[in-house]
Amino acid sequence: MIKTYFYDKDQDAMFHDVDLSQKDSLLSNPNSLLWIDLYDCSAHELNYIGDLFDFHPLALEDCLQLNPRAKVDRYDDYNFFVFHALRYFEEAEEEDEISSIELDVFMGNNYIVTIHPVALAAVGKVARISLKDTESSSRGPEHLLYQIVDNIVDDCFPIISRLGERLDDLEDDIFLIRGRKITEEILALKRTLILLRKVLIPQRRIFGNINGHYSFLVNEDNVPYFLDLVDHLDNILDTANTYRDLLNSTTETYYSIINGRTSEIITVLTIISIIMMPLTVITGFFGMNVTIPGSENPLYMWYILMGMAALVIGMLAFFSWRNWL
């Protein structure tokens, strides 16, 4: 499906579903902006847009296949971006609770083309705002790109907040619950944090590095917006790194608790086995089918039982004295 949005600078108005055959006249004014949004599109629709703007075949090929990492490719008169939005569904049973949705973007001087396999809330929100308010569109395609990516990043804050709550619950549960449930929760949190960092770290590198330089040209008016975007990404990544360290520490603590409980069980079973060994010898000796001195005494069995009880008490006292219990 192809949706189009056109901001006419002369009229200071936004138009929806424009005729793309008039592309040259629409883009004749460098201050106007044409936004083409494709989602769940066919290869025919993608190639149509590619031929319309003369996009490079390699960039179009990237749109037709999954790209695991965000990136930016610079061409002569446009930039090609690959981003990833996150979809979080904690109650998912047959698939991972978090998944990524690829967003491909072509950005020229006064146009932008967004391509995604399913409808994205981040893109839809920007489209609704653009139809009501022309201020963001008047700032050019860079600002529109910022708004889309900023919404993608903002959608990560509820995810990171929920992960923090689950980590707090996990830290309490490891002392109360054991078994498969805790192990599954640990693995689910690890997968979620890994994918979160895998998606956001490359996107962070697109918009800035240590020296504050950008991997694509940005107008001075839009620089503060991208600096704010980088700050949000740093905030999320720092929190994700902290959660990763907490999860690793919690995992080590959990397995230490499991090992301690296992040692306690083995200790108890070992003590029981050691106590039973001499009792087995005694019962085996006096259970022989031969005549044993004193067997005629009617209290014979009680003497044996009292002796075995004394032996057990003595062994337990010895174990306690050696701090083995």
pLDDT tens sequence across 183-194: 888 998 999 999
**Residue 21 pLDDT > 50:** yes
d(CA 34, CA 110): 7
Q: How confident is the model at residue 83 (pLDDT cuts 50, 70, 90)?
A: very high
- Domain segments of the chain as ranges: 2-258, 270-321
Length, in residues, of the chain: 325
Contact present, 106 and 78 (Cβ < 8 Å): yes
Query: 2-258 in CATH: which number?
Result: 3.30.460.20
- pLDDT (0 to 100) of residue 213: 56
pTM for this entry: 0.79
**8 A C-beta contact, residue 26 and residue 6:** yes
Compute the distance between CA of residue 233 and CA of residue 204 in angstroms, rounded to an integer.
6
The larger pLDDT score, comparing residue 96 to residue 142, is at 142
The pLDDT of residue 162 is 92
Strand partners, 2: 38
Q: Residue 95's pLDDT is what?
A: 65
Tell me what percent of the residues of the chain surpass a pLDDT of 70.
Answer: 94
pLDDT at res. 249: 92
Query: Is the confidence at residue 251, as pLDDT, over 50?
Result: yes
What pairs with residue 85 in β-bridges?
A: 101
- Cβ neighbors of 257 (< 8 A, separation 6 or more) are 174, 175, 178
pLDDT greater than 80 at residue 300: no
* Selection from 85, 54, 28, 66 nearest residue 203 by Cα: 85
Percent of the chain with pLDDT over 90: 26
Q: Which of 15-29, 191-205, 274-288 has the lowest mean pLDDT?
A: 274-288
Confidence of residue 210 (pLDDT cuts 50, 70, 90): very low
pLDDT band at 92 (very low <50, low <70, confident <90, very high): low
Reported for 6-11, long-range contacts at CB under 8 A and 24+ positions apart, including other chains, are: 6/32, 6/33, 6/34, 6/35, 7/32, 7/33, 7/34, 7/35, 7/130, 7/134, 7/137, 7/138, 8/32, 9/33, 9/138
Give me the pLDDT at residue 211, please: 45
Q: 80: closest CA among 47, 56, 102?
A: 56
Question: How many CB atoms neighbour CB 294 within 10 A?
Answer: 9
